[in-house]
Structure formats: C-alpha cells, structure tokens
C-alpha cells in the first residue's frame, strides 16, 4: 500500500468513527443509503475550508500541507498521538515536529518499570521530558558516590539537575566535566526548553542553570547543536564496582569507586515522545591508567 492509499484509509476510517449528532448535526433523514460517520463536507466545515480542499488531503493530492492544518485535522477527527504521527508520515513524509499533547513525555507505561527492573549488569533508567527519573534498576542506584558506610541511593530525582548543578558531581563523579558533560548537557537543556515551553520543570531548570555561577557561563556561552546523548562516551567513577583492590577514593568523604568510561545507549519510548530510556555500559580503566578526577 502506498502512502496515498494509507492516508485515504486512515482518514476515511476516522471519519466513520465520529457520530455527526455528537458534533451538532441533526439526525439524518430521507431515503438512500447513508455511510456512517462524518462526510467530507462536514469535516471541511469543521476545518473552515472548502470540501474540495479537504478532499485533496484525503486523496493524498495536497502538496506539502502545513503543520497547522494537519494538527487541526488531527483535532477534528480526534486522532490519537500515533494516528497523528501516521497522518504526518503519509501526507508529508516525516513525523510531526512536536507532540500535540502538551503533557507528552511526562509519563510512560508501567510495563517500562517491569522491563527496567528486570535488566541487570548495566545501569538503566527512564526519565521524562524534564529529566525526572521515572524508573531505574539497582545497578543505577549503586552507581552514585556515597558516604562511607552509607546505603546506595539515587541522590535526587532530577538527573539533569544532578549532572549540571551539584558541586560534588563535578568534583567526584563525572570526569572531564566541562567538555564531556556540561557543554553537551546544557545544549540538550536549551533544546528541550525551546521544544516544551509550557513544561514548568524545564523552565525551572533553565532558570537554575542560568543563575548558577559555574554552569551559567557555559549555558549562555556555548551554542552547540546537540539533541541526544545516544552513542556518547564519557568518563566517570562507578561506586563500588569491582573488587576492593581495584577501587580508589575520589575524596575522604566518599566510599571507594572505580574509574572508567560509559557508553550511552539512549532511545525514546514510542508512546511517550520526549521521555528517554538510557542504558550506561561501563568499561573500567585498566590498572595502569591514571585515576585522576
């Protein structure tokens, strides 16, 4: 099936699902067979366009329909998010620039929690569009620096705030912090704030990063185009990784840890655009490599 046929099938099927009476039209009367759902003329009326214009879209004959028009069609026909994505792909050849739901990316299916907690061997977590951790596995919890004798724990819910704005993170956990962490992370944050202007958590992160005496100059002064970390390699300390003789201390406060490199594997849950699943594959340094922070 080509894209025109797929688009025609999608829009006709969605029209058939809607009862005109629920949208203000009187019950149909008179003789003759009536197709269920909305007619093309009724959809056009709801869109404030001519019937001919809407019919061109449904036949796949409209050249480069505007995103605003496609979003209005999605609203009128009550398309679910995945159906809206299909509308864009069939009509213009690519996915929409942003989710229609302003709360998209703030929650994921509970099946993700089961999947992540079942993974073992590498730190894994899933965060929402504002980097609030939704679910994580035990390896992720054990990764963070901790005081001598303390139980492993995630230091705070927002992983972006932890990576950017905490002094002990810069000094003790994430190595080569300015180049490998701060510059790409601030670029990610700028992109997220621009993409989701209504998200209050992102707006607060934006203000905190701008005001921070260390992060602020980086946030305002670098303008790299950076959207996601998938495939990145960065250096860090992994708390409690390996046997005691392989561990070193970053400072007198924290328990011994292992220095190494993480490979970042990142993906987006399809039903929650903007959320992010991340797995960190840790490779420890060989004993002859310097462990300086």
DSSP assignment of the chain, as one string?
A: --HHHHHHHHHHHHHHHS-GGGGTPPPP-SSS---SS--HHHHHHHHTS-HHHHHHHHTT--SS--HHHHHHHHHHTT--HHHHHHHHHHHHSS--SS-SSTTTTS---HHHHHHHHH--SS-EEEE-TT-BEEEE-HHHHHHS--BTTPPP--S-SBHHHHHHH-HHIIIIIBSSIIIIIIHHHHHHHHHHHHH-TT-HHHHHHHHHHHH-TTHHHHHHH--------TT-EEEEEEET-S-GGG-B-SSSSBPPEEEEEEEEEEE--TTSBTBEEEEEEEEEPPTTS----
Mean pLDDT of 184-213: 92
pLDDT tens figures, 5-19: 889 999 999 999 998
Given pLDDT bands bounded at 50, 70 and 90, which one contains residue 33?
A: very low
The region of weakest confidence among 92-101, 119-128, 174-183, 255-264 is: 92-101
Find, among 156, 163, 206, the residue nearest to 181 by Cα: 163
Given pLDDT bands bounded at 50, 70 and 90, which one contains residue 43?
A: very high
Give the C-alpha separation, 122 to 156, whole Å: 20
**The pLDDT value given to residue 174:** 94
- Kindly tell me the sign of the dihedral angle through the C-alpha atoms of 287, 142, 152, 267: positive
**The pLDDT value given to residue 278:** 96
pLDDT above 90 as % of the chain: 57
Question: What does CATH list as the number for 3-92?
Answer: 1.10.260.40
Note the Cα 108 to chain centre separation in Å. Answer: 10
Given pLDDT bands bounded at 50, 70 and 90, which one contains residue 290?
A: low
Given pLDDT bands bounded at 50, 70 and 90, which one contains residue 213?
A: very high
Q: Where in the chain is CATH 3.30.450.180? A: 110-284
230 versus 214: the higher-pLDDT residue is 214
Give the C-alpha separation, 235 to 259, whole Å: 7
**The pLDDT value given to residue 4:** 87
pTM score of the predicted model: 0.71
Is the predicted pLDDT of residue 137 greater than 70, yes or no? yes
Mean pLDDT of 75-94: 90
Structural class in CATH, domain 110-284: alpha beta
Q: Where in the chain is CATH 1.10.260.40? A: 3-92
Mean pLDDT of 267-272: 86
Is the predicted pLDDT of residue 288 greater than 70, yes or no? no
**The pLDDT value given to residue 226:** 65
**The pLDDT value given to residue 258:** 92
**The pLDDT value given to residue 32:** 47
């Amino acid at each position: 099936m080509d894209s025109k046929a797929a688009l025609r099938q999608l829009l006709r099927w969605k029209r058939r699902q809607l009862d005109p009476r629920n949208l203000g039209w009187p019950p149909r009367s008179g003789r003759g067979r009536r197709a269920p759902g909305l007619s093309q003329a009724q959809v056009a009326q709801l869109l404030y366009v001519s019937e001919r214009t809407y019919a061109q879209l449904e036949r796949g004959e409209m050249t480069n329909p505007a995103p605003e028009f496609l979003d209005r069609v999605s609203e009128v026909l009550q398309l679910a998010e995945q159906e809206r994505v299909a509308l864009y792909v069939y009509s213009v050849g690519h996915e929409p620039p942003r989710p229609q739901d302003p709360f998209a990316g703030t929650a994921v299916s509970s099946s993700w929690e089961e999947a992540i907690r079942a993974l073992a061997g590498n730190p894994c977590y899933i965060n929402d569009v504002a980097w609030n951790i939704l679910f994580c596995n035990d390896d992720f919890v054990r990764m963070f620096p901790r005081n001598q004798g303390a139980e492993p724990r995630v230091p705070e819910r927002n992983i972006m705030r932890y990576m950017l704005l905490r002094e002990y993170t810069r000094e003790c956990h994430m190595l080569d912090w300015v180049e490998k962490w701060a510059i790409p992370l601030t670029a990610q944050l700028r992109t997220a704030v621009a993409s989701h202007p209504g998200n209050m958590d992102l707006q607060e992160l934006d203000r905190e990063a701008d005001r921070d005496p260390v992060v602020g100059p980086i946030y305002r002064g670098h303008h790299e185009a950076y959207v996601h970390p998938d495939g990145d390699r960065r250096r860090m300390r992994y708390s409690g990784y390996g046997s005691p003789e392989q561990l070193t201390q970053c400072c007198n406060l924290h328990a011994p840890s292992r220095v190494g490199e993480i490979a970042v594997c990142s993906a987006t849950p399809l039903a929650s655009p903007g959320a992010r699943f991340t797995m960190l594959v840790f490779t420890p340094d060989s004993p002859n490599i310097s462990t300086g922070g």
